[in-house]
Amino acid sequence: MKNERFSGLLMHPTSLPGPYGIGDFGSEAYRFTDFLAAASIKLWQVLPLGPTGYGNSPYSSRSTFAGNILLISLDLLAEDGLIDHKALPAYPDLSGARVDYQQVELLKVPLLHTAAENFLAASSDEQKAAYGVFCRQNSFWLDDYALFAVATDIFQDSRWYSQWDTGVGFRDARALAAWGEEHAHAIEIRKVLQYFFYRQWQELKQYVNEAGIKLIGDIPIFVAADSSDAWVNRKLFKTDSKGTFSAQSGVPPDFFSETGQLWGTPIYDWEQKEKELLDWWILRIRKALEQTDIIRIDHFRGLEAYWEVPAGETTAVNGNWKKAPGGKLFDRIKAELGEVPIIAEDLGVMTPEVVELRDRFDLPGMKILQFAFEPAESSQGKPLKLNAANDFLPHNYPVNCVAYTGTHDNDTTVGWYQKLPESYRDLVRRYLARPDHDISWSMIRKLMSSTARYAIFPAQDLLSLGSECRMNTPSTVGEANWSWRIMPGALDDALSARFRELVELYGRD
């Protein structure tokens, strides 16, 4: 049996170039696909595609089912006759190296709404029929999300539990019916925008798949408190007698943080609502499989046990581990959806129980090369001795894993290397047996030659970019996070040829 091995790039669509301030599903996405094909790259990994809220994090989406309308291509809408082509040249050129989300929303959203209005007013019978099919197939989330999106605009806040009128916020049936009738047209506009998103994404996905490339998507394990998911499914989460969330997520104190990390998302009530939660998770997985071909589950260990912190705590110190029925979930997935390709984000301290859950269902875990260069405890002075047993070193990789130089949460490889003390850089050079003038590609080469079935690289590492191009710094909120964009033409023929040579040398085709 052939030992199939693949390579991929991590590039969120927001990072694509273009004149409208943010990457989208238009021509640059197709051009990026052509680059992947020319480089013999078989995997395109994206971050969660949902609508983002405060901080613009894809991992704190306002819906686990809806799409981020800022990714809709204005050019494609113009080609469909839904926006006047003459309006687009007057659009300010926002083709810079960072996404200015506030500016993008101010300029792009009105044009998207105009396109939706034109669609409702003048679409053909065939277009109306296709839209109707979309609405029926997605009715389990679409109507609620559209109402949620309108309410978020009207109340100027997505915190339904504290800032909305009580009847709407806590889903009183009469209040919802009256409110939905009063704002029916605005709600319909939001549904049309979701139709645009899914239609354009499915057309792009078809192009990607026809090029022999698979898409890797991403599911955050928890949902945001101010999301439509929490608003609609409040009873699936731990709440107090007043119906407000009584627990929040995080990770315990460790080497990196004396107070742990407090994420603040609501906690699933697995003890009381296991069946309902398993049903809901199946809906999540099913929808993700419509969008992508392979699914990465973020914070996989939380499906075996998660760190629960009481509401009101300001750090993650006073928490406890709580069990989750991960085995039952994966049994349901297999029974109802078949063999679903899933990547387990298994970073951090893994217990034997988490490892057993991952391996029982034959899920590939993740290996980050930047984590590998740990000195041995016996090291004295210089040069340091490498801890050769480190699991993140390529010579220790199992075949069934996904190897990365770094992820969206890491510095770029060049930025990471430049910040290392010289003694650690010496460890890196000796392990790679290469000088450091081309460190990013030396790391890429090492992973391409490894036994790992999948080797995936952030696009920044192919371009040998520094820390100024980092995608995200965890536990921070700022303009630099989630806003990096690649420059037009950066992924050129010479780069694809260079990568294709590694694919051919190491049999990753």
Domain edges within the chain: 233-344, 365-462
Residue 310 vs residues 246, 264, 431: alpha-carbon distances, Å: 6, 10, 45
Residue 409 vs residues 9, 68, 172, 298: alpha-carbon distances, Å: 15, 20, 40, 12
- As a three-state string, the secondary structure of 94-132 is CCCCECCHHHHHHHHHHHHHHHHHHHHHHCCHHHHHHHH
Sheet holding 294-297, edge to edge: 342-344, 294-297, 214-219, 43-45, 6-10, 454-458, 401-404, 365-368
pLDDT score at 380? 62
3-class SS of residue 280: helix
CA distance 10 to 269: 33
Which secondary structure element, helix H or strand E, spans residue 168, and what is its range?
helix 166-169
Q: Measured on CA atoms in the order 122, 127, 132, 134, is the torsion positive or negative? A: negative
Active site residues: 298, 345, 409
CA distance 235 to 231: 9
CA distance 149 to 121: 21
pLDDT score at 256? 66
Q: 3-state SS of the chain: helix, strand, coil percent to 5? A: 45, 15, 45
CA distance 250 to 222: 10
Residues in the chain with pLDDT < 50?
1
3-class SS of residue 239: strand
Which structure tokens are listed for 428?
């890196």
pLDDT score at 379? 58
pLDDT score at 381? 60
pLDDT score at 254? 77
pLDDT score at 476? 84
